[in-house]
Amino acid sequence: MREMKVEITFMEAILGTASGNPELHSEFIASKAPDAQTKEEEVAALGAEEVEKKDMTVFPRTEDGKPFLYDYQIKGFVKHACGMLRNVKDTESEKIKSYKKYIDGLVFVEERKIPLEFEGEVGNLQRPLRAQTAQGERIALANSETCPAGTKITFTVQVLKDDLMKAVVEWLNYGKLNGIGQWHNSGAGRFTWKDLSDSEPTEEKPKRGRKKKEEEKA
């Protein structure tokens, strides 16, 4: 098994994804989780006023009120990244078949709860959503909690096959283009990252040319 300590810095605000209505979250959203313990943890962590926030998407909170992401949200992002990059020739992702099961069984995030580190207060974003229905186009107002650009998270990625770490780097690099959280297709939640297991960001390491290697040997 290999692991890498990752620090993500969000280039754009990240939006909360959990329902602010604990009852709705328990009965519909959290019920989609594969284990019953997840349902109870998420509902307890929301800490939202049902009347005030029932139509919002929010961040779950730690016991001291700090917003965080769950490990499965990181895995959800890498599944999305892999699914998209499988369509790009000569990528690591292109080689992975049945990629969702592959990631579920071989790629893990060590930390269950990943605190969002930022200065200031949690914000709020309202935006219109358009949908085509049998009755024609409908417009609704979506409302989400936000953490600002510059917010950081730190977590540990673990892979059970060493060569999978190349794909992990590829997926993390995709975060510059399409991020984490609600409304990520609009650019929200995009990020840069670096490997805290090393002295330099993995995505920015220069390639060493043949001439440089010959100079070192001399």
Indicate whether 51 belongs to any domain. no
Indicate whether 94 belongs to any domain. yes
pLDDT at 71 over 60: yes
Q: Which residue has the higher pLDDT, 70 or 46?
A: 70
Residues linked to residue 4 through DSSP beta bridges, in sequence order: 157
Indicate whether 39 belongs to any domain. no
- pLDDT confidence band for 141 (50 / 70 / 90): low
**Tens digits of residue pLDDT in 160-215:** 999 999 999 999 999 999 999 888 888 899 999 999 986 444 454 444 555 555 55
Indicate whether 49 belongs to any domain. no
How far is CA 19 from each of CA 56, 57, 146, 186, rounded to the nearest angstrom?
6, 5, 13, 20
Mean pLDDT for the chain overall: 79
What domain range is 192 assigned to?
A: 2-16+59-217
Indicate whether 48 belongs to any domain. no
Indicate whether 45 belongs to any domain. no
Query: What is the rounded CA–CA span in Å between residue 194 and residue 8?
Result: 7
Q: What is the DSSP letter of 218?
A: -
Say which CATH number the domain at 188 has.
3.30.70
Angle in degrees, CA 34, 110, 28, rounded to 5? 25
The pair of three-digit structure tokens given for residue 56, joined into one six-digit string: 């919002």
Residue with the two structure tokens 């490990």: 71
- Tally of structural domains, the chain: 1
Nearest-CA neighbor of 7 among 197, 194, 199? 194
Indicate whether 139 belongs to any domain. yes
Indicate whether 164 belongs to any domain. yes
Q: Give the pLDDT of residue 18.
A: 79
pLDDT at 139 over 80: no
Q: Give the pLDDT of residue 183.
A: 83
How far is CA 66 from each of CA 35, 120, 122, 150, rounded to the nearest angstrom?
24, 12, 10, 16
Q: Give the pLDDT of residue 144.
A: 87
